[in-house]
Amino acid sequence: MLEDNKKPTMNSRRVLLLLIIYFVIFLKFVPEIAKKITLMLNPYATIMSIPVLVVLYLMVTAASIYIARTVWKPSVEKFRSEPKKYIRMIVYAIVLILVVNFGLSIIISFVTQTDTSQNQQIIETNSLISPFYTFFYTCLIAPVLEETIFRGGIYTFVKEKMGVSAALVISSIFFGLIHVSSSLFNGNINDFVYLILYAGIGLILGYAYERSDTIIVSVGIHAGNNLFSFIMMMI
């Protein structure tokens, strides 16, 4: 075990910066900036430049890791101490998520009479337009950035203030809401039921982070789950 002063920590200033980076810069400003740069490079462009998006996403992700370095530094050190142990945890958790995802998806599809959520439909559409971009975003950027925000930031901060149970519930609800937010904003209330699915995944990711005490594990699980989904879309 790491000494207490080497455990992941998160203060209010850092978590606020992480929330601003994700909800304001990443979700709002990056698409707008990418659109303007794309039109500067090619006034006749009809879709945003993938290289521009890649660079901007990498910059935002790097900034989030730097802000959350009090989580990432001890996490990397701990993962390096017993890599085989944590890789096994990642594999087991991915299998668990796939089983839970499959079961809940069947139930939710029966209730809503839909095959998938709007969030998943957007990803599948993007995969047809640019497989590289979809892989880059879903398997690299999203796992690192979202785990930094929801587990490294929200979970770690709430745990220090309110305990593990509250941290698991709050971080999972936030994680679920962000994945159904586009549906709700578009008036698709039926997709709200998918909150159960995404929050459930968030619970598993949060529990894995708690048990391992390293964000590398939750990132690995998140990336592995998304990679499986990406492969299934490409088949």
How many residues are listed for the chain in this entry? 235
Residue 182 confidence (pLDDT): 73
pLDDT in tens, the chain (235 residues): 444 457 899 999 999 999 999 999 999 999 999 999 999 999 988 888 899 999 999 999 999 999 999 999 999 999 999 999 999 999 999 999 999 988 888 888 777 676 666 666 677 777 667 889 999 999 999 999 999 999 999 999 999 999 999 999 999 999 999 988 877 667 666 677 888 889 999 999 999 999 999 999 999 999 999 999 999 888 8
* Domain range summary for the chain, segments of one domain joined by +: 72-234
Helix, strand, coil in percent for the chain, rounding step 5: 85, 0, 15
